[in-house]
Structures are given as C-alpha cells and as structure tokens.
Amino acid sequence: MSIVTVQLGQCGNQIGFEVFDALFSDSHCPQKFCSKRENEAYQASCKERFFSEEEDGVPVARAVLVDMEPKVINQTLSKAAHSGRWKYGQHSHLCQKQGSGNNWAYGYSVHGPRHEESIMNLIQKEVEKCDSLSGFFIVMSMAGGTGSGLGAFLTQNLQDQYSNSLKMNQIIWPYGTGEVIVQNYNSILTLSHLYRSSDALLVHENDAVHKICAKLMNIKQISFRDINQVLAHQLGSVFQPTYSGEGSFHYRRNPLGDLMEDLVPHPEFKMLGVRNIPQMSENSLAYSTFTWAGLLKHLRQMLISNAKMEEGIDWQVRPPLSGLPTLGKMPLSKELHFNTSIANLVILRGKDVHSADLGAFKDPALYTSWLEPVTAFNVWKTQRAFSKYEKSAALVSNSQSLVKPLDMIVGKAWNMFASKAYLHQYTKFGIEEEDFLDGFALLEQVIASYSNL
Amino acid sequence: MGRRRRRRVDPADAARALPEAIAVLTRTLPTGPSPETFRRAKFDRPEAAPALWRLLFCVLSPMPADGASPSLALEAQARSVKAALRFQGYPRRALAQLPDDGSQGGRELLLALAWLLARGPTLEQLLAQSRVRLGDEMPVCECESLASPGPAVPSVEADGCVDTRHLQWLMGKLRFRWRKLMASQQEQCALLGKIHSYTRGCHSDRSLGHLSVTETELLRDPEGGQQDTVLGACPPEASQPAFLPEIPAQGAAELELVVRELQALQEELQAAVEPRRAAWEARVGGHGPEWSASRRALQEAVRQDLVALQWAWERGGGLTQPHEPHRLVRTEAGAPEGRGLQATEVIEVLRSREACLEVVLGQLQGQCQQELARLVGTLPGLIWIPPPGR
C-alpha cells in the first residue's frame, strides 16, 4: 500500500528529498546477510510504497511539492533528477513567486484557500497512481510561515476529502533559540490545528538532531543537509519494510496503519517521537560491532531517561516502584525524571534479529496504568539490514518526552500573548484572539493529559 | 414401493465400468479406501468394515475447510454414522443392527454408500469441499459471520474500576482497524480489476471472458505448489464456473430439528408470558381513558416497529440465490447481462440494509445518551459535558 508525501515549504521540501533519497539508497544497498529473493521482496515493497514507475524506468517519488517561493523546489527537483536514480514527477509541484514572510496567518488564510484547488488536484493525481492508498505524510515545519500555516490548512482539507485515509504529519520542532520572534505563536497555532485534523504527529526536534550530528556523527560544520539526513535516516528505519508478524515471511502491507493502531488510537495522545540506535558516521561504522542486548539496553534507557541519543545517557533514572499508582496531576515544577510511556513500537533490523530479547521493554513500570504491556508494546522485525548498519533498532514512542518542550513553548507564547505583542500580524489575516485562546486551551489539555499518566 | 424401472443396462458393460468407477471413487473420497477394501467389503470381510465406517463418517459429516475436527474413536464414528443415516431416512434395518464397535458390516455399509451416492448430491458436495476454487470468490451473504460467536468478551472484575482512557484506546483501535480494512479491500478490488482487465479474452469460457487470479497463477506457473486436485483428475470440463451445490438433504434434517426446538421454545415462552402479563397489569393497574389511550399508543408504536422490521427484512433478504460465495466476473459496459447476481443488485440490497442499520444505530446512541444523562443526574456535584458533535 502506498503513501503519498506532501512536502511543504523550504523545510518540508529539503527534508522530503533526503527521505526519498535515504529510502532509495537503503533499498539498493548491497546486502551481505540477506538472500537475493528476500532482498528483492524488500525492494519491491519499498518501491510500491514510496515510488511509482514511469516509462523510462526511473522511479518517481510519490510526492507533491509545495512552496510559495520557487528556489527551494527547483533545487530539490534538479537534485533528484541529476542523481539519475530516482526523480520527482514533472508536474507534481506548485510554487509561487512571492513568499509569505513567516506569517502563519497569511499561509493559513490566504495561500491556503487561494491554492487549495491546485494543490488538491496534484494530490488527487498522485493518489490515482496508487493501487491502494494507505495514507499521507505531510512534512512541514511547526514554526515557520508557509510550511506551518499552509500545512495546517492542507491537513484539514485532507481530513475532509480523504477522511478514511491516514494522515501523519512529520513536524519539525524549531530550535529553542530560534530566530523567528513569533515562532512560539506559530507553534501554538500549528499544533492545535493539527491535533484536531491529523491522526498522528511525529515530532523531530532540531535541537536533538543537531546534538546527534555534533556528538555522534562528529560533524564540525553542521548544515541543514546534515540535520535532514539524520532525520531521513530515522524515518527510513521506521518505515522500510518489516515482516508482518512473528514467523511470517511476508512484508507488512500497511506499516502506517499498523503503527497508528499500535500507538495513537487515543484522540488525546497523538504526539510521537522517534529514537534510533546506533547512529554514527559511516567511517566509524566499519570498526564497530554491536549486540542486540547492548543496543536494546541503551535504547531502553534512552526512553526512560528521555535521552535522544546514546551518548550522555542518565543511567540513574529508574522506573518507579510498581504498585504505586501515579494519582493526580504531577506538578510540572517538579522535574519529570522518569519518562512514562503510553505505547512503544520497537523496530529491529539486521542479523540474528530473532535472537533479540525484548523482555525489558515489557516491564509494566514503563507504562501508564491503564494499558498493559501486551497492548502497549509492539515490535517489528526484519533480517534485512538497514543501510550499512549490520544491526539497528528504532523506537517510536508515545510518551511524556514532549511535555516539557511543549510546556516551554506554551509558556513563552502565553507571555507574549498576555502583552498582545505582534498579534496584529495575525488578526490582519483573520486569525483572532479567540483562535489563540482555543489553541492554548487545547494544548494545556494535552499537557495535562500527558502529565497525568 | 414398486421398483423403479431403469433402462436396461447390459450387465457386461456394467461389470467393465465398475473397476474404473471404484478407482475414481477411491481418489475422490476423503480417506479413500483402496479398491481392494471395496472388494473385501463386498464380500463382507470384517477387516474392511472399519475403513468403510470411517469413510461413511467423513461423507456424512461435513468436514471443516481446514480439516481441524478432532478425530473420533471408531465407536463414536460408527454411532454417528448410524444416527446420520437414520436422519436421512435410510431404510435398511440391518445397518442399524450392526454392532457399534465398527467390527462388522462391510457389505451393509457399501449398500448405504451406494444409496447416498445415488440419491443426493453427495459426490458433488465432496468434490466441492476438496477442490481448488478457480474463481475469485466474493461472499454474498453474512450468514456465516452473523452465526459465528465472535471474540470472547473481555471480563470486567466485579467491582473493578474501568479507566475510560482504556475504553477510548480500544475504541480508537477499532476505528483504525476499520480504516485499514477499507484500505485493504480497496487494494484487493484494484488488483482484481487489473487482472481481470489484463486477461480479457483469455478464458475459454466466453461467458466469463477473463481469468481469475487463481487461473492466472496456474497458467503462469503450472507446477507451483498447487496440490493434485480432483479437478485435475477429472475430464476437461475444468473451465466450468463455481459449482453451486443444492441445499443438502442433511440440512433439511437439521432444519427439522431446529424447527421443532423453536416450536417448543415458543410454547414455553407463551406459557411463561401469560402469568407475567397478568401480574404486570395487576401491578400497573390503571383503567380509564388516559391509561387505555397511552396503552393504545404503545401498541401502535410496537406494531409500526414490527412492520418496519419486516419490510426491511423482506427488502434486504431479497436475494434468492444460494448463500455460497459467488465467482467475480467483470463484463464490458453494454455487454448482455450474464447469469448470476448483478453487482448493482447486491449493492442496492446492501445499501438498504446499511440505511436500516444506521437508523437503529442512531436510536441506540440516543438511548445511550439519555441513559448517561440520567445516571449523571443521580451523582451530586458532577457536571456532564458531552463531547462536541462532529
């Protein structure tokens, strides 16, 4: 089953390119421990999901590119075309001549309705190319102008027009010390709108990925390209094919649907994060060997201590003693040391994957009281390694890890809102104080729900 | 009880045809006894009896598709065979008098087998069970799924608190599964459509016109993995469409049983209802115009409900075709209507059923809301904020 990706704005388009590139590279990566037949099935599955075929045999990404400026889209299109390995569809993009100056309201109220028909037509064309549609990825920044306002508008439209299809927004969480003054306003509006119309919000934090680049990949001058590549690697390791069950030899047909059913069935809990292990530069890869036990031990600790990478993990954090229910709301002033999960999905790829022992992830202490580990914890496996990593594990979790960042953003935005700073930019284009208040209320509710696990 | 006049068959021909017939039967029948066993049974040799008992057991009790029924002891099988033959109206008492341990009776059993084969579509049923289905099958009725008990209801502890969040989680999971199901059914339809249109004109049977998935696979890879099918052994009418067996006589016997049970139940209920109704009326009391008016209103409402139900049932149950799955065939627009059900008819019926169910769902939801509101009213200090409507 296929996924159609909508790439929005500079951020969305640059990341989208890296994602397709990572998927393609991985599926054509020479494999040492995998039979030819299995590798072919893997490639076919990846291809059907993310690419369609044109007459000249070059795979075409199932994507629609949207930006209000032409520069980034043109760069993206030509980068793909020049690689010769895959490309974007000739007519799968929409760009305008003018920008929107990081104005969320302009993106939502002006660009959105103005280009609604054209964009939905492009999407419809992509959908028609699929034998069956699993759902949509919408890649966008949370705090920018075009990407975020337009993205919120589009996601609502997709909800109306493709109500049975699944929607996952890949959201780029801005740097805490971002440059845009109104980025917190934008974030509030984006998140509150998406929470209503999307099925899942997979959050990628710029700060976290930046640290991975610096500490793990040893990159001196970190560019956006480096960040995007790490991000793409994470996404690829989640959505590339996996077996549909223990002992099965078929690749699962609808990973997006399975993921959503496992992680986000509750309407109040839609925020997901992804962690990956190991992450390192390719040079170091050749000199490292890993065991499943080691990888999983680190991954588990990363989860419960809310670390985003395998270096600098706080090993002091332990699960609370079982039998003590967490009653009442935990005041946020108290440090949330332990990251309680609602549900987790671990994805294992590589050699001897069947020998991996996941018992530690099934500990009820990791999870909230109203879900048992048998429901809350899921694992996907495949023997086929990902990219050049002989063994790798990814963890997608619905947990408290985003509560603190979210609370910070809400706090800062509220302070600004209380003094009515910069509101005219929004009210000028139809986003009233009411809308802000709605957004605050919804996000406070989300924070409360997650804190109350 | 006169003997039916048959065409006179030359005994010599019959004698020659018999070994061939036995050989085919051996291959066809489940647990097919060897021709030698048949021969010994004819001479009533005791060593043939168990095999024949087992054979008749398989023939008389329909096997589930995956052959998962537990194997019974010979004695149990023998008793079952006797009972089944009795239900079918098998006349020979000699069989009923055979010992239950299955040690004797080869000849009687042969006679019974012949009787079964001659009188009903037994052989066709057996073939239908064990052959590969060539067509792309589409179920037409929901009888099987309605009759199945469904998954076990998770037990709730007596005074256990249920966390609403858990319920919401489950509800959400159900919704996602529904959407996944829709998507995969769409996928199946899209792929079937592709195969049907690509193989247009390839089928030897003109009324079908195109190949099914199974037939395409067989053509692509004749050796691969398909078990040696009965059809493969049969003469080349193999391109016939799905064979729809008639309602078996066995079904009639079971139906008979069910009817009798229902009648008994109805009598029981009637006997129980009368005193209860009397007691209720005594309790409720009330005479006079207001009471009888409201009572008439109630009766009228019930009558209308019943009429609506009946109408819906008759409309929805309009499909008079048998309940077996049908083969999916795609025809060109403007082509003459083929035999069998038209997709538009089925869609029409399903839509009307859907409409009825939606009405019922709305009523039930309304009742739930009222009940919730009532319950909430009984709890002091609780404010009920229903979720915003979609």
Tens of pLDDT, residue by residue over A376-423, are: 999 999 999 999 899 999 999 999 999 999 999 999 999 999 999 999
Residue A270 to residue B23: CA distance in whole angstroms: 65
Is-contact A10 A72, C-beta < 8 A?
yes
- Which residue of chain B has the CA closest to A255? B180
Residues A296 and A212 occupy one common structural domain: no
Is-contact B353 B309, C-beta < 8 A?
no
Of the candidates A253, A273, A293, which is a domain's last residue?
Answer: A273
Mean pLDDT for the stretch of residues B271-292:
78
Residue B102 to residue B75: CA distance in whole angstroms: 6
The whole-angstrom distance between A22's CA and the closest CA on chain B is: 26
Residues A260 and A387 occupy one common structural domain: no
Mean pLDDT for the stretch of residues A344-359:
94
Residue A436 to residue A442: CA distance in whole angstroms: 10
Residue B386 to residue B372: CA distance in whole angstroms: 10
The residues, any chain, with a CB within 8 Å of residue A328's CB and separated by 6 or more, are: A452
Residues A216 and A283 occupy one common structural domain: no
Please judge whether A254 and B183 are an interchain contact, meaning their C-beta atoms are less than 8 angstroms apart. Answer: yes
Is-contact A193 A185, C-beta < 8 A?
no
What is the 8-class DSSP label of residue A174?
P
Instruction: Return the higher-pLDDT residue of B50 and B126.
Output: B50
Residue of B161, B177, B180 to mutate for A, most A C-beta atoms under 10 A: B180
Please judge whether B173 and A261 are an interchain contact, meaning their C-beta atoms are less than 8 angstroms apart. Answer: yes
CA neighbor of A176 nearest in space, from A404, A450, A451, A414: A404
Residues A389 and A435 occupy one common structural domain: no
How many domains is chain A built from? 3
Please judge whether A265 and B171 are an interchain contact, meaning their C-beta atoms are less than 8 angstroms apart. Answer: yes
Residues A142 and A218 occupy one common structural domain: yes
Which of A98-112, A348-362, B124-138 is predicted most confidently? A348-362
pLDDT, tens digit (0-9, with 9 covering 90-100), for B324-358: 667 888 877 777 766 777 788 888 888 888 888 89
Residues A262 and A292 occupy one common structural domain: no
Is-contact A313 A305, C-beta < 8 A?
yes
Question: Residue B8: what pLDDT?
Answer: 67
The whole-angstrom distance between B161's CA and the closest CA on chain A is: 10
Question: Residue A333: what pLDDT?
Answer: 34
pTM of the model: 0.75
Question: Residue B390: what pLDDT?
Answer: 43
Residues A186 and A283 occupy one common structural domain: no
Instruction: Return the higher-pLDDT residue of B166 and A96.
Output: B166
CA-to-CA dists, residue A174 to A12, A332, A445, angstroms: 13, 22, 22
Could you list the beta-strand ranges (E) of A351-411.
Answer: 377-382, 391-399
Q: Which amino acid is at A81?
A: A
Question: Which residue segment(s) compose the domain that A309 sits in?
Answer: 277-319+338-397
Could you list the beta-strand ranges (E) of B117-162.
Answer: 137-138
CA A53, chain centre distance (Å): 26
pLDDT, tens digit (0-9, with 9 covering 90-100), for B251-279: 566 677 777 788 888 888 888 888 888 88
Mean pLDDT for the stretch of residues B67-77:
68
Residue of A4, A49, A130, A164 to mutate for B, most B C-beta atoms under 10 A: A164
- Which residue of chain A has the CA closest to B182? A164
Residues A342 and A258 occupy one common structural domain: no
Residue B85 to residue B54: CA distance in whole angstroms: 14
The residues, any chain, with a CB within 8 Å of residue B227's CB and separated by 6 or more, are: B132
Assigned token pair, B244: 């729809």
Is-contact A118 A111, C-beta < 8 A?
no
The whole-angstrom distance between A207's CA and the closest CA on chain B is: 31
Please judge whether B183 and A257 are an interchain contact, meaning their C-beta atoms are less than 8 angstroms apart. Answer: yes
Assigned token pair, B173: 């999971």
Residues A232 and A109 occupy one common structural domain: yes
Question: Quick check: is A63 in a domain?
Answer: yes
Question: Quick check: is A332 in a domain?
Answer: no
* Sheet bearing A133-141, strands edge to edge: A93-95, A63-67, A2-8, A133-141, A166-173, A200-205, A271-277, A391-399, A341-350, A377-382
Question: Quick check: is A38 in a domain?
Answer: yes
The band of A329, judged by pLDDT with boundaries at 50, 70 and 90, is very low
Residues of A in contact with B175 (CB under 8 A): 265
Please judge whether A132 and B173 are an interchain contact, meaning their C-beta atoms are less than 8 angstroms apart. Answer: no
Residues A68 and A98 occupy one common structural domain: yes
Residues in chain B: 390
Please judge whether B169 and A1 are an interchain contact, meaning their C-beta atoms are less than 8 angstroms apart. Answer: no
Please judge whether A164 and B179 are an interchain contact, meaning their C-beta atoms are less than 8 angstroms apart. Answer: yes
Question: Quick check: is A89 in a domain?
Answer: yes
Question: Quick check: is A43 in a domain?
Answer: yes
The whole-angstrom distance between B186's CA and the closest CA on chain A is: 6
Please judge whether A267 and B168 are an interchain contact, meaning their C-beta atoms are less than 8 angstroms apart. Answer: yes
Cα within 13 Å of Cα(B277), Cβ side? 6
Of the candidates A397, A420, A438, which is a domain's last residue?
Answer: A397
Is-contact A27 A61, C-beta < 8 A?
no
Q: Is the model's pLDDT at A335 over the cut of 70?
A: no
Is-contact B14 B7, C-beta < 8 A?
no
Residues A267 and A297 occupy one common structural domain: no
Q: Is the model's pLDDT at B237 over the cut of 70?
A: no
Cα within 13 Å of Cα(B167), Cβ side? 5
CA neighbor of A341 nearest in space, from A303, A315, A307, A299: A303
3-state DSSP assignment of residue B66: coil
Maximal C-alpha separation, chain A: 64
- Beta-bridge partners for B137: B327
Residues of A in contact with B166 (CB under 8 A): 370-371
Mean pLDDT for the stretch of residues A304-308:
92
Question: Quick check: is A246 in a domain?
Answer: yes
Residues A265 and A343 occupy one common structural domain: no
Is-contact A205 A306, C-beta < 8 A?
no
Question: Quick check: is A167 in a domain?
Answer: yes
Instruction: Return the higher-pLDDT residue of B176 and B283.
Output: B176
Q: Is the model's pLDDT at A123 over the cut of 60?
A: yes
Residue A263 to residue A375: CA distance in whole angstroms: 10
3-state DSSP assignment of residue A133: strand
pLDDT, tens digit (0-9, with 9 covering 90-100), for B174-184: 999 999 999 98
Cα within 13 Å of Cα(B366), Cβ side? 6
Residue A366 to residue A296: CA distance in whole angstroms: 14
Residues of A in contact with B192 (CB under 8 A): none
Question: Quick check: is A325 in a domain?
Answer: no
Q: Which H or E run includes A350?
A: strand A341-350
The residues, any chain, with a CB within 8 Å of residue A353's CB and separated by 6 or more, are: A292, A381, A382, A383, A391
Across the interface, of A132, A257, A264, the residue whose CB is closest to B186 is A132
